């Protein structure tokens, strides 16, 4: 068996000769064999034992056994006690998930402090098969049917190439001591039911079912590579990451556009159910909005627009009469120029040329608000900003980035869009104030003037 493991470690590039590695060590057969073999192969091991205090005296027994085992091999031993119940309650997660989070956080702390190259855990091929069946029962995509992988970042699994039976035989042959977790024999845990009930039942239908399932996982792993390549091609064509824009007409050109959409959005925290609802809105009117924990998606004509959720900013920024430029909340130059017929008035949206005599300083730069209204340049009557945005097909994410410039109680400029007709240059104008934004809207920060 040890030669199979050496070949697996080398073939998957898990470790190099004499590497320092943190070994998750529970004291059970799997982790005991893992620690024993890695130490025997000459790797510099650090045994890390977690006491989750979930099994009373048995938890303390495991800790004592693990410490003695490591010392007998002259291996550095570290242990940590956790209040797993309190952590699970605080985080509102299952005990299993709480123990996993606590374990891997601590293992990573050790890896960094000890300057180790990896964290080795004792998953074997039976674990991979159980994971595949568990995912199949719960519902999954192709990745969930490929089982456990040889490594996940810096977490490595050197025993994934051997079965539980092989591990137990090796422990017996080498006289490796280990302890047994009594919960392994309790069927209330879903994984244990798969191990102790479902797999034995399947073996009555096919005595080689484990080998068959392993072969299926290997085949699906290869198929997943084709799937990933296709998704990546679609992502590059459909999704403009800088703009957060998913092009709907292009999305529809791909086989299974719903799957492509899921693969794009799942990475931003959108669940499968939410993605299904988003896809159902693909031919609906603009304006439908969907949320993930830190993101928002808006259906806007022929696109889905993705943007981070932002806290509302009600700050107001003053522009004094002698101000030449501002840096926050956006970069803008301000200049006062005498007016005559030689002055060329820019028609660019990021430039506002206003009649100085109609303005009252300080000007106020703020976010637009519901109920705001102005008289758009070239018109005579008032229009609500919300109507102006709708008429000009400005999307919800774009609306949230819009600032307005106010003089006294009047809006004089919807920044980067339109000035108010009341403040335009006329024949009677003698002085102008020209404001020009240098860049598009930036993140809000402290206000600086010069």
pLDDT of residue 355: 94
Q: Are residues 262 and 408 in the same domain?
A: no
pLDDT of residue 312: 60
pLDDT of residue 439: 59
Single residue among 267, 286, 308 that ends a domain in this structure: 308
Are 45 and 21 a contacting pair, CB within 8 Å?
yes
Q: Are residues 281 and 196 in the same domain?
A: no
Q: Are residues 248 and 191 in the same domain?
A: no
Residues in the chain predicted with pLDDT less than 70, given as ranges, are 182-189, 310-313, 439-450
SS3 label, residue 242:
coil
360-404 tens-digit pLDDT:
888 999 999 888 999 999 998 999 999 999 899 888 888 888 999
Q: Are residues 86 and 190 in the same domain?
A: yes
- The residues that bridge with 78 in the sheet, in sequence order, are 48
Q: Are residues 33 and 145 in the same domain?
A: yes
Does residue 148 sit within a domain? yes
Does residue 446 sit within a domain? no
136-156 tens-digit pLDDT:
998 888 999 999 999 999 999
- Beta pairing, strands 303-308 & 317-319: unpaired
pLDDT of residue 118: 97
Q: Are residues 283 and 412 in the same domain?
A: no
End-to-end Cα spacing for the chain = 73
CA-closest candidate to residue 116, choices 197, 22, 246? 22
Provide the domain limits for residue 25: 2-212
- The residues that bridge with 48 in the sheet, in sequence order, are 24, 78
Q: Are residues 433 and 403 in the same domain?
A: yes
Number of domains in the chain: 3
pLDDT of residue 450: 26
User: Under the phi-then-psi rule, with left for phi > 0, alpha for psi from -120 to 50, and beta for the rest, what region is 395?
Assistant: beta
Q: Are residues 323 and 262 in the same domain?
A: no
Does residue 410 sit within a domain? yes
Q: How far is 408 from 361, CA to CA, in rounded Å?
A: 8
pLDDT of residue 311: 61
Single residue among 212, 231, 261 that ends a domain in this structure: 212
SS3 label, residue 411:
strand
Does residue 165 sit within a domain? yes
The CATH number covering residue 289 comes to 3.30.465
The CATH number covering residue 38 comes to 3.40.50.620
Q: How far is 385 from 418, CA to CA, in rounded Å?
A: 11
pLDDT of residue 185: 46
pLDDT of residue 183: 61
Phi, psi for 317 (deg, rounded to 5): -120, 130
């Amino acid at each position: 068996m040890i030669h199979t493991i050496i070949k697996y470690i080398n073939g998957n590039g898990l470790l190099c000769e004499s590497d320092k590695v943190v070994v998750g060590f529970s004291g059970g057969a799997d982790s005991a064999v893992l620690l024993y073999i890695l130490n025997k192969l000459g790797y510099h091991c650090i045994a890390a034992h977690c006491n989750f205090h979930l099994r009373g005296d048995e938890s303390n027994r495991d800790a004592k056994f693990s410490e003695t085992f490591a010392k007998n091999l002259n291996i550095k031993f570290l242990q940590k006690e956790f209040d797993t119940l309190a952590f699970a309650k605080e985080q509102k997660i299952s005990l299993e998930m709480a123990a996993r989070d606590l374990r891997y956080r601590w293992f990573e702390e050790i890896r960094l402090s000890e300057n180790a190259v990896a964290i080795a855990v004792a998953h074997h091929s039976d674990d991979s098969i159980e994971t595949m069946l568990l995912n199949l029962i719960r519902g999954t995509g192709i990745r969930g049917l490929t089982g456990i992988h040889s490594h996940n970042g810096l977490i490595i699994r050197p025993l994934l190439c051997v079965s539980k039976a092989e591990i137990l035989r090796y422990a017996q042959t080498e006289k490796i001591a280990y302890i047994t977790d009594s919960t392994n024999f309790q069927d209330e845990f879903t994984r244990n039911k798969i191990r102790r009930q479902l797999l034995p039942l399947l073996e009555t239908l096919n005595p080689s079912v484990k080998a068959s399932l392993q072969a299926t996982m290997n085949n699906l792993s290869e198929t997943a590579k084709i799937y990933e390549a296709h998704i990546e091609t679609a992502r590059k064509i459909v999704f403009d990451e800088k703009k957060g824009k998913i092009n709907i007409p292009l999305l529809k050109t791909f086989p299974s556009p719903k799957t492509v959409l899921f693969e794009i959005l799942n990475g931003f925290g959108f669940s499968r159910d939410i993605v299904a609802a988003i896809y159902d809105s693909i031919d609906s009117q603009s304006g439908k909005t969907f949320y993930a924990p830190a993101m928002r998606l808006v259906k806007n004509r022929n696109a889905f627009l993705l943007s981070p959720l932002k806290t509302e900013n009600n700050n107001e920024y003053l522009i004094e009469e002698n101000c030449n430029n501002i840096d926050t909340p956006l970069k803008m130059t301000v200049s006062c120029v005498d007016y005559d017929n030689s002055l060329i008035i820019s028609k660019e949206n990021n430039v506002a040329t206003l009649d100085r005599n109609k303005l009252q300083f300080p000007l106020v730069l703020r976010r637009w608000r519901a109920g705001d209204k102005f008289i758009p340049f070239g018109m005579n009557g008032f229009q609500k900003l919300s109507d102006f945005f709708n008429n000009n097909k400005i999307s919800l994410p774009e609306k949230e980035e819009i600032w307005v410039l106010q003089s006294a109680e009047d809006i004089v400029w919807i920044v980067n869009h339109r000035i108010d007709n009341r403040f335009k240059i006329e024949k009677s104008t003698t002085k102008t104030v020209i404001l020009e934004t240098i860049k598009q809207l930036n993140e809000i920060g402290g206000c600086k003037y010069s």
